[in-house]
Amino acid sequence: MHHTPNRALSIRLDRFATIYLNGSETALKMGSYDSPDYVFISHAHLDHICKQESQNVEAICSEETFILSTLRGFGIKRTESPFLLLDSGHILGSKSIVLEAGCEKILYTGDVNNSPLADMPKQCFPKVHTLIIESNYGRPNLVFPPRHELVKEVVDYVRENLKKSRPVVFMGYPLGKSQHVQMILDRFLPDVEKYVSPSIARYNDVYRLFSMMISEKKILCPQSQSFPRDSNWVLYYPNISGRNAFLQVIKKKYGAVLIWFSGRSLLKSYEEMLAVDRAFPLSDHADFHGLLKIVEETSPQKIFTVHGFSKEFSQELRNLGYEAYDLNSLRGRCIRLL
Ligand SMILES: [Zn+2]
Ligand SMILES: [Zn+2]
């Protein structure tokens, strides 16, 4: 089992592993060795796209991912998918893939959120033989608070500060998180001027292209010619450190408050580390309970965990009686699936 099988077809799953589909042998190999027949690009976050591969190999991805990746400088050779793609609820165009070998099904989730933010679409997963699942929040203590309570807490905090004439900067990943936060928060702030950074504005345009409703906003960045005159405004900005020079200027000039959105803020002393005033665990990933729900939904016989706390999550799954492996620990080995 430590060889690469004679292959009829091979698919690289993001940058993590390669699946070999063959009538007699289906196998999974961690890492990238031979040139595959296809690459599957689950979504347009940079850690899921590989520069060289995306140019030469036929890429399976959504139209949204194709446009976003092109915008980010990746020349992708997109092809019609011979496999079933399902909405994964993570960002615009994010997909999971269902591969079939004989009558057995293999599901690779990509980054997944079964409790999607804003209006991100999410589909049900089928029952499968093998599940390859992300594990960004694969530890039992990584559980997000109920969404409505969290949003209320954010809105109260924002209003409280605006009332004290302190503008608010919303910081988050510029592709995905920023758009979702706008879709959630804009409607709570009808009489407040709203600004965005240039990079967020670019991705807003792509969201609009696919009918996701995000209001037009003025640009505010270090190169801006004019700055706000009063303090009744909010700014959507990328997730950089609060020690950034522009943000420091904004803080000094307006007394602005910096809010950071990431599931990782469940981990301690995040605010101090990033030099922000508050951090809220609003996430585009499934939390620990969400991941377990996907496992129950798909009832797989074999599970491979990848990304984030893959080691811890595979151990949790083994404790629950599943046959589960951390993909990282299998580096270089070829695993027979069927
Ligand atoms: Zn992602
Ligand atoms: Zn990711």
Cβ atoms 113, 289 nearer than 8 A = no
For ligand 1, the distance from its centroid to the CA atom of residue 91, given in whole angstroms, is 7
Q: What pLDDT score does 150 carry?
A: 97
Domains 9-141+285-336 and 147-280 share a fold: no
For ligand 2, the distance from its centroid to the CA atom of residue 44, given in whole angstroms, is 9
| Residues shown for the chain | 338
Better-scored residue on pLDDT, 33 or 46: 46
For domain 9-141+285-336, the CATH architecture is 4-Layer Sandwich (3.60)
Tell me what percent of the residues of the chain surpass a pLDDT of 90.
Answer: 79
Residue 312: pLDDT over 50:
yes
**Calpha distance 87→85 (Å, rounded):** 7
Placement of tokens 């991805």 in the chain: 61
Task: Report pLDDT digits (tens) over 9-18.
Answer: 899 999 889 9
Domain spans of the chain, in order of start: 9-141+285-336, 147-280
Residue 4: pLDDT over 80:
no
Q: What pLDDT score does 34 carry?
A: 74
Amino acid at site 206:
V
* pLDDT bracket for residue 224 (50, 70, 90): very high
Ligand showing the shortest atom-to-Cα distance for residue 14: 2
Better-scored residue on pLDDT, 192 or 1: 192
Amino acid at site 258:
L
CATH no., domain 147-280: 3.40.50.12650
Query: Is the backbone of residue 269 left (phi > 0), alpha (psi -120 to 50) or beta?
Result: left
For ligand 2, the distance from its centroid to the CA atom of residue 256, given in whole angstroms, is 30
Task: Report pLDDT digits (tens) over 127-156.
Answer: 999 999 999 999 999 999 999 999 999 999
Q: What pLDDT score does 2 carry?
A: 39
Give the mean pLDDT of the chain. Answer: 92
